[in-house]
Structure 1
Amino acid sequence: MKRHSILLTLFIGVVLSFPLLPATAEDTLPITFEDFETDAIERWTYVADRVMGGVSSGDAHMVRDGDDSAVRLKGVVSTENNGGFIQVRQQFSGGWPEDTHGLRISAKGNDQTYYVFLRTEGLSRVWYSYRFVFDVSNDWAEFEMPFDKFKPSHEGMPKAFTPEIIKSIGFVAYGRDHEVDLTVRRVELY
């Protein structure tokens, strides 16, 4: 009995002598932010420039691609009448983990240029955002989007942001007349 007690005391002493290390980004990331599965249609909203008098048109809906779910943004962007965008976006609270360095998405489309718009707390205008540009083809591709490569949309905005103050993400067709067909099947934080 005494020997068992000594061994148990030694074991506890050894275990407690190791420092408790906090989880790091390498331990917790990547995190799947969106896989477009359960109730995704309730989290994502279609928005067009018509709210500002523009004439762009389209829609966003959930689709299946093999075993994967995805969101598909389809329509026409028109710069007539001071318009020029359609998007599908998700608003959320609580931001993302502070050790997040960027986004990784899987997307395909119609050989066009698209944007990811991130909005953060404290932006003074609803049209302000941080933007990342990417080009899609007809084949699925992975896109890494480091936060330090997102550009502020307007002068006077802070040049950088921290992930814990992000409050929305949008996949956007923007700024020029063109047909839109963008499908995104996964959004990861890394």
Structure 2
Amino acid sequence: MMQLDPKWEFVSDTVMGGVSSGTVTKEITEGREATVLRGEVSLENNGGFIQMAFDLREDGSELDVSAWEGLEVAVWGNGDTYDIRLRTAQLAKPWQSFRADFVSEPKWRSVKIPFASLTAHRVDAAFDPSCLRAHRYISN
């Protein structure tokens, strides 16, 4: 099992002219260290999202996770539905991704995301775990 220590960053609809706001902070939540996303989502100016994201490798290079069956994430939430979005070298546009939803609960729990459960978003491709990449669009 590979453990990640990501450097999370806040991303919002302001990249597209929206006005949502928020933060990503490290805190103790119910006795455990956590990276916490908080914010206000606004539908003004065609907006409507906040995210936290990280790059797998600082140089944006690919990571082969084909030996894995999926991801496991410890989450604590507010009862809302969230999604995990993965990007691979297969994707050419910033709005393309492979996604899986989960419902958060107001308690710590482990969420398993099998790669087989990922759905393609705005791309006609199957998830290829041999070329997992950074969350940003990287132009070659």
Q: TM-score, normalised by structure 2?
A: 0.84
Matches within 5 A, 1:15-164: 30-34=1-5, 40=6, 43-65=7-29, 68-91=32-55, 92=57, 93-154=61-122, 156-158=123-125, 160-164=126-130
Structure 1 stretches of 4+ moved >6 Å:
none
CA shift, 1:62, in A, is 1.2
Structure 1: distance between partners of 2:135 and 2:94: 13
Distance 2:28 2:53 in 1: 19
Aligned ranges 1:2-21 → 2 under 5 Å? none
Structure 2 unaligned regions, length at least 5: none
When the two chains are superposed, the root-mean-square deviation of aligned CA atoms in Å is 2.0
- Looking at structure 2, the residues matched to 102 and 128 of structure 1 have their Cα atoms a distance apart, in angstroms, of 19
Count of matched residue pairs:
132
Q: Write 1 or 2 for the structure with the bigger share of strand.
A: 1
Alpha-carbon shift at residue 66 of structure 1 (Å): 6.4
Could you tell me which runs of 5 or more consecutive residues in structure 1 were left unpaired when the two chains were aligned: 1-29, 35-39, 171-190
Q: Is the partner of 1:31 in helix, strand or coil? A: coil
TM-score by length of 1: 0.63
**Rg (Cα) greater in structure:** 1
Q: Which protein, 1 or 2, shows the higher relative CO under an 8 Å CA cutoff with sep ≥ 6?
A: 1
Residues 116 and 169 in structure 1, CA contact (< 8 A), matched pair in contact too: no
Counterpart of 1:81, as a letter, is N
Question: Percentage identity across aligned positions?
Answer: 34
